[in-house]
Structure 1
Amino acid sequence: MKSRRDFLKTTGGLVLATGGTWLAGHAHGADAVLGPAELPEGTLSASLLEALPGKVPLIKKSWRPPNFETPVSYFNDVFTRNDAFFVRYHLSNIPEVAAAGWQVKVGGEAVEKPLQLTLDNLKNDYEQIEIAAVCQCSGNRRGMFVPHVPGVEWGPGAMGNARWKGARLKDVLTKAGLRKDALEIVFDGADSGLFPATPDFVKSIPVWKAMDENTLIAWQMNGQPLPHWNGFPARIVVPGWTATYWMKQLT
Protein backbone atom coordinates (compact mmCIF):
# COMPACT_ATOMS: atom_id res chain seq x y z
CA MET A 1 0.00 0.00 0.00
CA LYS A 2 1.26 3.46 -0.84
CA SER A 3 2.10 5.68 2.09
CA ARG A 4 0.31 9.00 2.36
CA ARG A 5 3.60 10.72 1.58
CA ASP A 6 4.09 8.70 -1.61
CA PHE A 7 0.48 9.21 -2.60
CA LEU A 8 0.49 12.97 -2.26
CA LYS A 9 3.58 15.06 -1.63
CA THR A 10 2.79 18.49 -0.31
CA THR A 11 4.98 21.51 -0.58
CA GLY A 12 -2.98 27.90 9.19
CA GLY A 13 -5.68 29.33 12.70
CA LEU A 14 -8.31 31.01 14.50
CA VAL A 15 -8.35 34.78 14.06
CA LEU A 16 -10.87 36.87 15.84
CA ALA A 17 -11.65 40.38 14.82
CA THR A 18 -14.51 42.74 15.47
CA GLY A 19 -15.90 41.48 12.19
CA GLY A 20 -14.61 37.94 12.47
CA THR A 21 -12.58 35.29 14.25
CA TRP A 22 -9.86 33.15 12.67
CA LEU A 23 -9.13 29.57 13.61
CA ALA A 24 -5.84 30.08 11.89
CA GLY A 25 -9.70 -3.79 5.94
CA HIS A 26 -12.94 -4.31 4.08
CA ALA A 27 -12.88 -4.25 0.27
CA HIS A 28 -15.93 -4.18 -1.96
CA GLY A 29 -16.01 -6.45 -4.96
CA ALA A 30 -17.59 -6.02 -8.34
CA ASP A 31 -21.06 -6.10 -6.81
CA ALA A 32 -20.44 -2.93 -4.78
CA VAL A 33 -23.04 -0.23 -5.19
CA LEU A 34 -21.23 2.69 -6.79
CA GLY A 35 -24.16 4.93 -7.44
CA PRO A 36 -27.38 5.29 -9.40
CA ALA A 37 -27.21 4.35 -13.07
CA GLU A 38 -28.91 7.60 -14.09
CA LEU A 39 -25.88 9.76 -13.29
CA PRO A 40 -24.92 12.21 -16.07
CA GLU A 41 -22.77 10.93 -18.92
CA GLY A 42 -19.12 10.79 -17.91
CA THR A 43 -19.80 10.50 -14.20
CA LEU A 44 -19.65 6.72 -13.81
CA SER A 45 -16.39 6.52 -15.73
CA ALA A 46 -14.78 8.44 -12.86
CA SER A 47 -16.56 6.38 -10.21
CA LEU A 48 -13.83 3.79 -9.71
CA LEU A 49 -13.14 2.04 -6.44
CA GLU A 50 -9.68 3.07 -5.30
CA ALA A 51 -8.09 3.10 -1.85
CA LEU A 52 -6.40 6.08 -0.28
CA PRO A 53 -3.79 5.19 2.35
CA GLY A 54 -5.67 4.19 5.49
CA LYS A 55 -9.00 3.86 3.67
CA VAL A 56 -10.94 0.96 2.19
CA PRO A 57 -11.64 1.25 -1.54
CA LEU A 58 -13.89 4.26 -2.07
CA ILE A 59 -15.51 5.80 -5.14
CA LYS A 60 -12.90 8.09 -6.64
CA LYS A 61 -14.17 11.41 -7.94
CA SER A 62 -10.81 13.16 -8.24
CA TRP A 63 -7.21 12.65 -7.10
CA ARG A 64 -6.18 16.28 -6.74
CA PRO A 65 -7.82 17.55 -4.74
CA PRO A 66 -8.70 14.18 -3.17
CA ASN A 67 -12.45 13.59 -3.34
CA PHE A 68 -13.69 10.08 -2.56
CA GLU A 69 -17.25 8.91 -1.95
CA THR A 70 -18.49 6.22 0.43
CA PRO A 71 -20.21 3.23 -1.25
CA VAL A 72 -23.79 3.20 0.02
CA SER A 73 -23.50 -0.33 1.42
CA TYR A 74 -21.50 1.15 4.31
CA PHE A 75 -24.60 3.07 5.39
CA ASN A 76 -26.23 -0.12 6.68
CA ASP A 77 -24.71 0.70 10.07
CA VAL A 78 -25.75 3.64 12.24
CA PHE A 79 -22.21 5.03 12.32
CA THR A 80 -19.97 5.15 9.27
CA ARG A 81 -16.65 3.50 9.98
CA ASN A 82 -13.61 5.77 9.83
CA ASP A 83 -11.83 3.93 7.05
CA ALA A 84 -14.95 4.16 4.85
CA PHE A 85 -15.79 7.80 5.60
CA PHE A 86 -15.92 10.05 2.54
CA VAL A 87 -13.07 12.45 1.76
CA ARG A 88 -13.62 16.01 0.53
CA TYR A 89 -11.02 18.71 -0.09
CA HIS A 90 -11.06 21.95 -2.08
CA LEU A 91 -7.26 22.33 -2.22
CA SER A 92 -4.74 19.78 -3.46
CA ASN A 93 -1.84 19.84 -0.99
CA ILE A 94 -2.82 17.91 2.13
CA PRO A 95 0.17 17.96 4.49
CA GLU A 96 1.19 15.36 7.02
CA VAL A 97 0.62 17.04 10.40
CA ALA A 98 2.51 15.71 13.42
CA ALA A 99 0.52 15.77 16.63
CA ALA A 100 3.60 16.62 18.71
CA GLY A 101 4.24 19.96 17.03
CA TRP A 102 0.69 20.95 16.15
CA GLN A 103 -1.00 24.04 17.58
CA VAL A 104 -4.21 25.87 16.85
CA LYS A 105 -3.98 29.63 17.24
CA VAL A 106 -6.80 31.78 18.57
CA GLY A 107 -6.28 35.47 17.97
CA GLY A 108 -7.45 38.69 16.38
CA GLU A 109 -8.97 41.96 17.48
CA ALA A 110 -12.00 40.32 19.04
CA VAL A 111 -10.13 38.39 21.74
CA GLU A 112 -8.43 39.84 24.77
CA LYS A 113 -6.21 36.82 25.54
CA PRO A 114 -4.88 35.11 22.38
CA LEU A 115 -4.22 31.39 22.75
CA GLN A 116 -1.99 28.75 21.19
CA LEU A 117 -3.37 25.32 22.03
CA THR A 118 -1.64 21.97 21.61
CA LEU A 119 -3.50 18.70 21.19
CA ASP A 120 -2.81 17.93 24.85
CA ASN A 121 -4.33 21.29 25.80
CA LEU A 122 -7.51 20.46 23.90
CA LYS A 123 -7.75 17.04 25.54
CA ASN A 124 -6.86 17.99 29.11
CA ASP A 125 -7.68 21.67 29.70
CA TYR A 126 -11.32 21.61 28.57
CA GLU A 127 -14.39 19.52 29.30
CA GLN A 128 -14.64 16.72 26.74
CA ILE A 129 -17.94 16.38 24.92
CA GLU A 130 -19.04 13.56 22.59
CA ILE A 131 -21.90 13.99 20.13
CA ALA A 132 -23.33 12.08 17.19
CA ALA A 133 -23.64 14.15 14.03
CA VAL A 134 -23.95 13.68 10.28
CA CYS A 135 -21.23 15.26 8.17
CA GLN A 136 -22.55 15.83 4.64
CA CYS A 137 -20.99 17.68 1.73
CA SER A 138 -23.26 20.47 0.50
CA GLY A 139 -22.78 19.00 -3.00
CA ASN A 140 -23.99 15.52 -2.08
CA ARG A 141 -25.98 14.02 -5.02
CA ARG A 142 -24.80 16.82 -7.35
CA GLY A 143 -24.18 14.25 -10.07
CA MET A 144 -27.89 13.45 -9.99
CA PHE A 145 -29.10 17.04 -10.41
CA VAL A 146 -31.38 17.89 -13.33
CA PRO A 147 -30.40 20.12 -15.00
CA HIS A 148 -26.72 19.26 -14.64
CA VAL A 149 -24.56 21.71 -12.66
CA PRO A 150 -20.75 22.03 -12.45
CA GLY A 151 -18.78 20.68 -9.52
CA VAL A 152 -17.67 17.34 -8.11
CA GLU A 153 -20.12 14.77 -9.48
CA TRP A 154 -21.13 13.24 -6.17
CA GLY A 155 -23.62 10.44 -5.91
CA PRO A 156 -25.37 9.82 -2.56
CA GLY A 157 -22.21 8.89 -0.63
CA ALA A 158 -20.62 12.25 0.19
CA MET A 159 -21.81 11.92 3.75
CA GLY A 160 -21.34 9.92 6.93
CA ASN A 161 -22.52 9.70 10.51
CA ALA A 162 -20.00 9.55 13.35
CA ARG A 163 -19.43 10.10 17.04
CA TRP A 164 -17.25 13.19 17.49
CA LYS A 165 -15.37 14.05 20.67
CA GLY A 166 -13.53 17.20 21.65
CA ALA A 167 -13.72 20.55 23.39
CA ARG A 168 -16.59 22.96 22.98
CA LEU A 169 -15.57 25.84 20.74
CA LYS A 170 -17.41 28.19 23.09
CA ASP A 171 -15.19 27.15 26.01
CA VAL A 172 -12.06 27.95 24.00
CA LEU A 173 -13.45 31.30 22.86
CA THR A 174 -14.52 32.18 26.39
CA LYS A 175 -11.03 31.42 27.73
CA ALA A 176 -9.61 33.64 24.99
CA GLY A 177 -11.81 36.52 26.16
CA LEU A 178 -14.15 36.82 23.19
CA ARG A 179 -15.46 40.36 22.89
CA LYS A 180 -19.18 40.98 22.90
CA ASP A 181 -19.04 42.79 19.56
CA ALA A 182 -17.45 39.87 17.67
CA LEU A 183 -19.56 38.78 14.71
CA GLU A 184 -17.92 35.81 12.98
CA ILE A 185 -15.49 33.01 13.75
CA VAL A 186 -13.21 32.34 10.76
CA PHE A 187 -11.47 28.99 10.32
CA ASP A 188 -8.40 28.04 8.31
CA GLY A 189 -6.71 24.69 7.76
CA ALA A 190 -3.30 23.37 6.81
CA ASP A 191 -4.21 22.41 3.23
CA SER A 192 -2.99 24.63 0.39
CA GLY A 193 -3.19 25.03 -3.37
CA LEU A 194 -0.74 23.84 -5.98
CA PHE A 195 0.43 27.36 -6.82
CA PRO A 196 1.22 30.39 -4.62
CA ALA A 197 -1.55 32.35 -6.32
CA THR A 198 -4.21 29.77 -5.41
CA PRO A 199 -6.65 31.42 -2.97
CA ASP A 200 -6.78 29.95 0.51
CA PHE A 201 -9.92 28.07 1.54
CA VAL A 202 -11.42 29.62 4.67
CA LYS A 203 -14.89 29.48 6.17
CA SER A 204 -16.72 31.36 8.89
CA ILE A 205 -19.72 30.83 11.11
CA PRO A 206 -21.60 33.45 13.13
CA VAL A 207 -20.75 33.81 16.79
CA TRP A 208 -24.14 32.50 17.88
CA LYS A 209 -23.41 29.17 16.16
CA ALA A 210 -19.83 29.08 17.43
CA MET A 211 -21.17 29.43 20.97
CA ASP A 212 -23.63 26.55 20.55
CA GLU A 213 -23.18 23.75 23.09
CA ASN A 214 -22.58 21.17 20.37
CA THR A 215 -20.08 23.01 18.16
CA LEU A 216 -16.75 21.32 18.82
CA ILE A 217 -13.06 21.38 18.13
CA ALA A 218 -12.98 17.61 17.68
CA TRP A 219 -9.91 15.40 17.88
CA GLN A 220 -11.65 12.01 18.03
CA MET A 221 -13.99 10.22 15.63
CA ASN A 222 -15.82 7.01 16.52
CA GLY A 223 -13.54 6.48 19.50
CA GLN A 224 -10.31 6.89 17.52
CA PRO A 225 -8.05 9.82 16.58
CA LEU A 226 -9.29 11.60 13.49
CA PRO A 227 -8.03 9.94 10.30
CA HIS A 228 -5.53 11.94 8.27
CA TRP A 229 -8.04 12.37 5.44
CA ASN A 230 -10.78 13.53 7.81
CA GLY A 231 -8.97 16.29 9.62
CA PHE A 232 -6.21 15.03 11.94
CA PRO A 233 -5.17 16.40 14.41
CA ALA A 234 -8.37 18.45 14.97
CA ARG A 235 -11.32 19.79 13.03
CA ILE A 236 -14.41 21.87 13.63
CA VAL A 237 -17.71 20.00 14.01
CA VAL A 238 -20.80 22.10 13.30
CA PRO A 239 -23.89 19.89 13.75
CA GLY A 240 -26.75 20.77 11.43
CA TRP A 241 -24.50 22.64 8.99
CA THR A 242 -23.00 21.16 5.84
CA ALA A 243 -19.44 19.85 5.81
CA THR A 244 -18.00 22.92 4.08
CA TYR A 245 -18.01 24.58 7.52
CA TRP A 246 -16.35 21.62 9.26
CA MET A 247 -12.81 22.87 8.66
CA LYS A 248 -10.15 20.13 8.82
CA GLN A 249 -6.54 20.20 10.04
CA LEU A 250 -7.11 23.43 11.95
CA THR A 251 -4.27 25.86 12.28
Structure 2
Amino acid sequence: SQAKFPVSQKPIVLNVCNFAKGSPTLLSFDDARTLFHEFGHALHQILSNVTYEPLSGTSVSRDFVELPSQLFEHWLTVPEVLKRFAVHYKTKSPISEKLMERLIGASNYDMGYQTVEYTSSALVDLYFHLEDTEKDVMELQNEILSKIGLPEAINMRHATPHFAHVFSGGYYAAAYYSYMWSEVMDADAFSAFEELDNPFDADLAKSLEDNILSKGNSLDPEIAYKRFRGNLPKVDALLRGRGLI
Protein backbone atom coordinates (compact mmCIF):
# COMPACT_ATOMS: atom_id res chain seq x y z
CA SER A 1 0.00 0.00 0.00
CA GLN A 2 1.06 3.59 -0.58
CA ALA A 3 2.23 5.87 2.24
CA LYS A 4 4.39 8.93 2.93
CA PHE A 5 4.79 8.50 6.70
CA PRO A 6 6.68 7.20 8.60
CA VAL A 7 8.54 6.26 5.40
CA SER A 8 7.76 6.79 1.74
CA GLN A 9 6.19 3.65 0.30
CA LYS A 10 5.08 2.85 -3.24
CA PRO A 11 2.15 0.49 -3.82
CA ILE A 12 2.67 -2.93 -5.38
CA VAL A 13 -0.52 -4.08 -7.08
CA LEU A 14 -1.32 -7.42 -8.72
CA ASN A 15 -4.46 -8.32 -10.61
CA VAL A 16 -4.70 -12.11 -10.52
CA CYS A 17 -7.43 -13.49 -12.78
CA ASN A 18 -8.60 -17.07 -13.15
CA PHE A 19 -9.69 -17.04 -16.78
CA ALA A 20 -10.49 -20.27 -18.62
CA LYS A 21 -7.36 -22.02 -19.84
CA GLY A 22 -6.89 -22.69 -23.53
CA SER A 23 -4.58 -22.30 -26.46
CA PRO A 24 -4.90 -19.51 -27.30
CA THR A 25 -6.46 -18.04 -24.17
CA LEU A 26 -9.56 -16.13 -25.25
CA LEU A 27 -11.70 -13.87 -23.08
CA SER A 28 -15.47 -13.74 -23.08
CA PHE A 29 -17.16 -10.37 -22.88
CA ASP A 30 -17.83 -10.99 -19.17
CA ASP A 31 -14.13 -11.83 -18.71
CA ALA A 32 -13.22 -8.53 -20.34
CA ARG A 33 -15.63 -6.69 -18.06
CA THR A 34 -14.04 -8.36 -15.04
CA LEU A 35 -10.59 -7.35 -16.28
CA PHE A 36 -11.64 -3.70 -16.62
CA HIS A 37 -13.39 -3.83 -13.23
CA GLU A 38 -10.38 -5.20 -11.39
CA PHE A 39 -8.04 -2.78 -13.15
CA GLY A 40 -10.22 0.02 -11.78
CA HIS A 41 -9.44 -1.27 -8.28
CA ALA A 42 -5.77 -1.43 -9.27
CA LEU A 43 -5.81 2.21 -10.40
CA HIS A 44 -7.36 3.20 -7.08
CA GLN A 45 -4.32 1.66 -5.37
CA ILE A 46 -1.66 2.78 -7.85
CA LEU A 47 -2.76 6.43 -7.93
CA SER A 48 -3.13 6.73 -4.16
CA ASN A 49 -1.39 9.81 -2.77
CA VAL A 50 -2.02 10.03 0.97
CA THR A 51 0.14 10.37 4.05
CA TYR A 52 -0.88 7.34 6.09
CA GLU A 53 -1.06 3.76 4.80
CA PRO A 54 -4.36 2.84 6.54
CA LEU A 55 -6.06 5.57 4.49
CA SER A 56 -4.55 4.62 1.14
CA GLY A 57 -6.10 3.31 -2.05
CA THR A 58 -9.11 1.08 -1.62
CA SER A 59 -9.22 1.48 2.18
CA VAL A 60 -12.47 3.41 1.87
CA SER A 61 -16.03 2.82 3.05
CA ARG A 62 -18.12 0.00 1.61
CA ASP A 63 -20.36 2.68 0.06
CA PHE A 64 -17.47 4.00 -2.02
CA VAL A 65 -14.99 1.22 -2.75
CA GLU A 66 -16.70 -0.06 -5.91
CA LEU A 67 -16.96 3.36 -7.58
CA PRO A 68 -13.54 3.33 -9.33
CA SER A 69 -13.86 -0.29 -10.46
CA GLN A 70 -17.41 -0.04 -11.78
CA LEU A 71 -16.67 3.34 -13.36
CA PHE A 72 -13.78 1.82 -15.29
CA GLU A 73 -16.13 -0.82 -16.73
CA HIS A 74 -17.80 1.92 -18.78
CA TRP A 75 -14.71 2.29 -20.98
CA LEU A 76 -15.07 -1.36 -22.03
CA THR A 77 -17.94 -0.47 -24.36
CA VAL A 78 -16.53 2.80 -25.69
CA PRO A 79 -16.31 1.97 -29.45
CA GLU A 80 -12.76 3.30 -29.82
CA VAL A 81 -11.62 1.04 -26.99
CA LEU A 82 -13.61 -1.99 -28.08
CA LYS A 83 -12.15 -1.82 -31.60
CA ARG A 84 -8.61 -1.84 -30.22
CA PHE A 85 -8.82 -4.95 -28.07
CA ALA A 86 -11.80 -6.91 -29.45
CA VAL A 87 -9.96 -8.35 -32.44
CA HIS A 88 -10.00 -11.78 -34.10
CA TYR A 89 -7.27 -13.88 -32.56
CA LYS A 90 -6.01 -15.05 -35.98
CA THR A 91 -6.68 -12.24 -38.44
CA LYS A 92 -6.42 -9.38 -35.91
CA SER A 93 -9.39 -7.74 -37.61
CA PRO A 94 -11.46 -5.60 -35.20
CA ILE A 95 -14.99 -6.41 -34.13
CA SER A 96 -17.53 -5.47 -36.80
CA GLU A 97 -19.74 -2.42 -36.36
CA LYS A 98 -22.87 -4.60 -36.51
CA LEU A 99 -21.67 -7.01 -33.82
CA MET A 100 -20.47 -4.14 -31.66
CA GLU A 101 -23.88 -2.45 -31.86
CA ARG A 102 -25.62 -5.71 -30.89
CA LEU A 103 -23.20 -6.29 -28.02
CA ILE A 104 -23.67 -2.81 -26.59
CA GLY A 105 -27.41 -2.86 -27.26
CA ALA A 106 -27.83 -6.06 -25.25
CA SER A 107 -26.26 -4.50 -22.16
CA ASN A 108 -29.63 -3.40 -20.72
CA TYR A 109 -31.50 -6.62 -21.53
CA ASP A 110 -33.85 -7.72 -18.72
CA MET A 111 -32.78 -4.79 -16.54
CA GLY A 112 -36.28 -4.13 -15.21
CA TYR A 113 -36.44 -7.61 -13.69
CA GLN A 114 -32.84 -7.48 -12.43
CA THR A 115 -33.34 -4.09 -10.80
CA VAL A 116 -36.43 -5.16 -8.86
CA GLU A 117 -34.88 -8.53 -7.96
CA TYR A 118 -31.74 -6.92 -6.55
CA THR A 119 -33.48 -4.03 -4.79
CA SER A 120 -35.83 -6.39 -2.96
CA SER A 121 -32.85 -8.32 -1.58
CA ALA A 122 -31.16 -5.10 -0.48
CA LEU A 123 -34.31 -3.92 1.31
CA VAL A 124 -34.75 -7.26 3.09
CA ASP A 125 -31.14 -7.02 4.28
CA LEU A 126 -31.74 -3.52 5.66
CA TYR A 127 -35.03 -4.45 7.35
CA PHE A 128 -33.39 -7.46 9.01
CA HIS A 129 -30.84 -5.18 10.64
CA LEU A 130 -33.43 -2.59 11.68
CA GLU A 131 -35.93 -4.90 13.38
CA ASP A 132 -35.40 -6.45 16.81
CA THR A 133 -37.34 -9.67 16.47
CA GLU A 134 -37.08 -13.41 16.98
CA LYS A 135 -39.38 -14.30 14.09
CA ASP A 136 -38.57 -17.09 11.67
CA VAL A 137 -36.41 -15.58 8.92
CA MET A 138 -38.66 -16.77 6.09
CA GLU A 139 -41.73 -15.40 7.87
CA LEU A 140 -39.99 -12.06 8.30
CA GLN A 141 -38.75 -12.11 4.71
CA ASN A 142 -42.28 -12.66 3.39
CA GLU A 143 -43.63 -9.85 5.58
CA ILE A 144 -41.00 -7.46 4.23
CA LEU A 145 -41.58 -8.43 0.60
CA SER A 146 -45.33 -7.95 1.07
CA LYS A 147 -44.72 -4.56 2.69
CA ILE A 148 -42.58 -3.29 -0.19
CA GLY A 149 -45.02 -4.66 -2.80
CA LEU A 150 -42.72 -7.08 -4.62
CA PRO A 151 -44.64 -8.62 -7.56
CA GLU A 152 -45.32 -12.33 -7.04
CA ALA A 153 -43.67 -13.15 -10.38
CA ILE A 154 -40.31 -11.86 -9.11
CA ASN A 155 -38.30 -13.62 -6.43
CA MET A 156 -35.49 -12.29 -4.29
CA ARG A 157 -32.05 -12.93 -5.74
CA HIS A 158 -31.22 -15.08 -2.69
CA ALA A 159 -33.80 -16.49 -0.29
CA THR A 160 -32.75 -15.64 3.26
CA PRO A 161 -31.47 -19.10 4.37
CA HIS A 162 -28.73 -18.93 1.71
CA PHE A 163 -28.38 -15.13 1.56
CA ALA A 164 -24.79 -15.19 2.82
CA HIS A 165 -24.33 -11.41 2.67
CA VAL A 166 -26.94 -10.89 5.39
CA PHE A 167 -25.05 -13.11 7.80
CA SER A 168 -21.49 -12.24 6.78
CA GLY A 169 -21.04 -10.35 10.04
CA GLY A 170 -19.06 -7.46 8.72
CA TYR A 171 -18.48 -6.22 5.22
CA TYR A 172 -21.89 -6.73 3.63
CA ALA A 173 -24.25 -7.16 6.57
CA ALA A 174 -26.72 -4.26 6.21
CA ALA A 175 -24.69 -3.14 3.20
CA TYR A 176 -25.92 -5.30 0.32
CA TYR A 177 -27.45 -2.12 -1.12
CA SER A 178 -23.92 -0.82 -1.79
CA TYR A 179 -23.70 -2.64 -5.13
CA MET A 180 -26.62 -0.67 -6.55
CA TRP A 181 -25.51 2.53 -4.84
CA SER A 182 -22.11 2.14 -6.50
CA GLU A 183 -23.85 1.76 -9.86
CA VAL A 184 -25.73 5.01 -9.24
CA MET A 185 -22.39 6.73 -8.61
CA ASP A 186 -20.45 5.18 -11.48
CA ALA A 187 -23.23 5.92 -13.99
CA ASP A 188 -23.44 9.52 -12.80
CA ALA A 189 -19.65 9.88 -12.85
CA PHE A 190 -19.31 8.52 -16.38
CA SER A 191 -22.10 10.80 -17.55
CA ALA A 192 -19.69 13.68 -16.83
CA PHE A 193 -17.55 12.38 -19.72
CA GLU A 194 -20.65 11.82 -21.86
CA GLU A 195 -21.75 15.41 -21.29
CA LEU A 196 -18.43 16.51 -22.81
CA ASP A 197 -18.94 14.02 -25.66
CA ASN A 198 -15.41 12.80 -24.95
CA PRO A 199 -14.71 9.69 -22.85
CA PHE A 200 -11.01 10.55 -22.98
CA ASP A 201 -11.17 14.18 -21.81
CA ALA A 202 -7.79 14.76 -20.14
CA ASP A 203 -8.90 17.55 -17.81
CA LEU A 204 -11.85 15.58 -16.47
CA ALA A 205 -9.68 12.47 -16.08
CA LYS A 206 -7.19 14.56 -14.08
CA SER A 207 -10.02 15.78 -11.87
CA LEU A 208 -11.07 12.17 -11.31
CA GLU A 209 -7.53 11.30 -10.25
CA ASP A 210 -7.02 14.37 -8.06
CA ASN A 211 -10.36 14.27 -6.27
CA ILE A 212 -11.18 10.55 -6.01
CA LEU A 213 -8.53 8.07 -7.15
CA SER A 214 -5.65 9.67 -5.27
CA LYS A 215 -7.50 10.49 -2.05
CA GLY A 216 -8.10 7.03 -0.58
CA ASN A 217 -9.94 7.57 2.70
CA SER A 218 -8.20 10.86 3.51
CA LEU A 219 -11.22 12.85 2.31
CA ASP A 220 -14.91 12.36 3.06
CA PRO A 221 -16.42 10.54 0.03
CA GLU A 222 -19.24 13.08 -0.26
CA ILE A 223 -16.76 15.95 -0.49
CA ALA A 224 -14.54 14.00 -2.90
CA TYR A 225 -17.42 13.21 -5.24
CA LYS A 226 -18.81 16.75 -5.21
CA ARG A 227 -15.37 18.15 -6.01
CA PHE A 228 -15.19 15.88 -9.05
CA ARG A 229 -18.78 16.07 -10.26
CA GLY A 230 -19.97 19.37 -8.82
CA ASN A 231 -22.97 17.74 -7.15
CA LEU A 232 -24.04 14.56 -5.41
CA PRO A 233 -24.86 11.58 -7.66
CA LYS A 234 -28.31 11.42 -9.23
CA VAL A 235 -30.12 8.25 -10.26
CA ASP A 236 -31.02 9.47 -13.77
CA ALA A 237 -27.89 8.18 -15.52
CA LEU A 238 -28.34 4.70 -14.04
CA LEU A 239 -31.98 4.53 -15.12
CA ARG A 240 -31.09 5.67 -18.65
CA GLY A 241 -28.28 3.14 -18.87
CA ARG A 242 -30.63 0.37 -17.78
CA GLY A 243 -33.25 1.45 -20.32
CA LEU A 244 -35.76 2.27 -17.58
CA ILE A 245 -36.39 5.90 -18.60
TM-score, scaled relative to structure 2: 0.24
Which protein has the bigger helix share? 2
Which protein has the bigger strand share? 1
TM-score, scaled relative to structure 1: 0.24
